[in-house]
Amino acid sequence: MWQEERYQRIRKMLAALRSASTDRIAEELGVSRETVRRDLIALEARGELRRTHGGAVLDGEAPEHDPTHHDRRHYRAVARAAASRLSNGQTLFMEAGSMAVTLAEALDVLHGITVITNSFDAAMRIAASRDHLSHGNRAVMLGGSVLPSLAATHGEHAIAEIHRYTADAALLCPSAIDARHGATHADLSRAELARAMAANARSIVAMADDTAIGQNAGVSYCPADRIAMLISNRKAEATEGYDALAGALGGVVLV
C-alpha cells in the first residue's frame, strides 16, 4: 500500500472514530505497527492529528481521559529541567514545536539570555513577559516563509539567518529519536532548519517524550553522538531502543 493511500485511510478512520489505537490502525491497513508509527509522526507534523500513548486523535480532540492532558504536565517538567541546565547570558536557538511556548515560559528564570527562534508564539511569550523583560531577556525572530501548522517560519531565508549566529546551545524537539538515525523529523523543511541550528550551536539539548524514543521519523538532522543531553519522561526508560539511544548520547535526564 502506498504511503498517501495509508494517510488517506488513517484520516478516514479518525474522521469516523475521533481516535484510534496503533494496533487497530495496523490491523485495518494490514501493515506493521512500526509503519503506523511513522505515518502518525508524519501526519502530526502536518498538523492533521495528535499522537497519544498508543494511538492518535484528531488534532483538537482531547477528552479528559486522554493521555494528551498528561502531556502538558510532562512538557512543563521537561522545560524546567532544560532551563535548570542552562546559564545566564547565553544565546540559545529554539526550534518551533509543541514544546516551544512551554519552554519559553520556563526560561524566564534565567537572566540576560537571547533566544533565537522560528516560533511566533515562543518569541511573543518572551517579548511580552514581565519576567523576561525584567531579567533582560530578549527574543530574535527568524525571518522566512510561514509554516501555518506550526505558527513558525522556515525555508532558506530562515536557515540563512541561523548561519549568522553562533549559539551556546540549540534546544531541539525531534519528532523521533533513535541511536542509529539520531534526531529526526518527518518534514524536510523542519529537519533542515533544525540541522542548521544544531550545526551552529556549541551544545545540543533534545527534548522528546517516550512515544518518540527508538523511532525514526524519516529525515535525520542531528546524529545521537552530537546531542549533549536528552530530556524525556520516565516512561522512556521502558521503550524499545532506549538503552541503545542512551549509550549513544552524551547524557539523559528523565523527569
The per-residue pLDDT for range 208-221, each reduced to its tens digit, is 988 889 989 889 99
Rounded-to-integer distance, Cα 85 and Cα 22, Å:
35
What is the CATH topology of the domain spanning 71-254? Answer: Glutaconate Coenzyme A-transferase (3.40.1080)
In this prediction, residue 23 carries a pLDDT of 81
Q: In what order do the strands lie in the sheet with 19-21?
A: 19-21, 55-58, 49-52
Burial of 247 per CB tally in 10 Å (0-12, 13-18, 19+): exposed
pTM of the model: 0.78
- Going from N- to C-terminal start, the domains of the chain cover 3-58, 71-254
In this prediction, residue 13 carries a pLDDT of 84
In this prediction, residue 59 carries a pLDDT of 66
In this prediction, residue 65 carries a pLDDT of 38
In this prediction, residue 2 carries a pLDDT of 83
pLDDT per residue as tens, the chain (255 positions):
688 889 988 988 888 777 888 888 987 787 888 889 889 988 988 888 888 877 898 865 544 334 444 556 778 999 999 999 999 999 999 999 878 999 999 999 999 999 999 999 999 999 999 999 999 999 999 999 998 777 899 999 999 999 999 999 999 999 899 999 999 998 899 999 999 999 999 999 999 988 889 989 889 999 999 999 999 999 999 999 999 999 999 999 999
Rounded-to-integer distance, Cα 178 and Cα 183, Å:
7
**In terms of residues, how long is the chain?**
255
Q: Measuring CA to CA, which residue among 123, 117, 109 is closest to residue 92? A: 117
Pairing of strands 145-147, 252-254: unpaired
CATH code, residues 3-58:
1.10.10.10
